[in-house]
């Protein structure tokens, strides 16, 4: 079902309430996500970061997979497998939408299944209090997503400067697949030799725009690329285990899915 985004307004949502998602199936097709300066350190610890061209400009992204439409950090049962959950996923079904005047407003995905009438049941968070102000939970979503949005602008500005100073280079990545190796194109990284050779004035300019921190975060995060390989291997081993179980097995499948201990499969052989 396609997303149905609506701006959050008193007129539309006063008598509605929202729920936090209990799983991350909604993110299973996200193979990358733009990185905000507000989350950069956390993202660099959990995911490989890279630069990709988005609308003609380099954007720092977190790689969740090397295959489009596939998120290795969402387990088949919907659990999130990384040590950090990006804010855009934490606060789903909310997002920020750009208005005609260039400002941003809180929007909600009404096709998410996470909205109810306020009178139905006791669980959930109202959008607004009785006096028409956002509830604490709704305001938290506004504040956090706004901070992330501002941080995206910081990264965009710094990314443009990194490209201008010729500090980006192709990142040669090869994905190992059953049908053979596949070269990943269009992924950029910081050129460490070029960064080490940069002059004092350029170094100061990068520091002042946040570009220096972004450069080192990207370099630091590159070791996390191996995590994608580990997760891919875990999925392949889990799939083989599923295929090896006889149809008349006594294994309980209450919800129709084999229960997989992902912590075991993530261990190296």
* pLDDT at res. 265: 40
Alpha helices in the chain (DSSP H): 10-13, 40-46, 87-90, 136-164, 192-196, 200-209, 211-221, 225-244, 262-265
* pLDDT at res. 118: 87
* pLDDT at res. 180: 66
* pLDDT at res. 176: 73
Helix axes 200-209, 136-164, angle to 10 degrees: 160
* pLDDT at res. 264: 45
* pLDDT at res. 166: 95
* pLDDT at res. 244: 56
- pTM score: 0.83
* Residues of the chain with confidence (pLDDT) below 70: 1-2, 177-180, 239, 242-269
* pLDDT at res. 156: 94
What are the extents of the domains in the chain?
5-265
* pLDDT at res. 246: 52
25 closest CA partner among 62, 69, 79? 79
Residue 71 contacts residue 79 (beta carbons within 8 Å): no
Residue 97 tokens read as: 């939408």
């Amino acid at each position: 079902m396609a997303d149905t985004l609506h701006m959050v307004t008193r007129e539309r949502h006063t008598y509605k309430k929202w729920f936090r998602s209990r799983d991350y199936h909604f993110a299973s097709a996200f193979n990358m996500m733009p990185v905000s300066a507000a989350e950069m350190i956390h993202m660099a610890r959990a995911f490989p970061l890279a630069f990709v061209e988005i609308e003609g400009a380099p954007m720092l992204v977190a790689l969740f997979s090397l295959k489009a439409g596939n998120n290795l950090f969402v387990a088949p049962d919907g659990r999130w497998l990384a040590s950090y959950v990006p804010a855009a996923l934490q606060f789903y079904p909310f997002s920020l939408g750009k208005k005609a005047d260039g400002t941003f407003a809180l929007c909600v995905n009404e096709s998410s299944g996470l909205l109810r009438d306020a009178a139905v049941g006791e669980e959930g968070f109202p959008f607004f209090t009785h006096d028409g102000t956002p509830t604490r939970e709704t305001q938290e979503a506004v504040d956090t997503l706004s901070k992330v949005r501002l941080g995206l602008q910081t990264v965009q500005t710094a990314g443009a400067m990194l490209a201008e100073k010729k500090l980006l280079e192709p990142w040669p990545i090869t994905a190992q697949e059953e049908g053979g190796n596949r070269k990943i194109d269009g992924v950029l990284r910081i050129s460490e030799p070029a960064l080490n050779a940069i002059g004092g004035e350029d170094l100061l300019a990068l520091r002042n725009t946040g570009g220096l921190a972004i450069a080192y975060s990207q370099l630091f995060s590159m070791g996390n690329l191996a995590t994608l390989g580990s997760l891919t291997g875990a999925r392949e081993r889990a799939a083989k285990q599923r295929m090896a179980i006889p149809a008349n097995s006594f294994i309980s499948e209450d919800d129709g899915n084999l229960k997989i201990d992902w912590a075991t499969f993530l261990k190296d052989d």
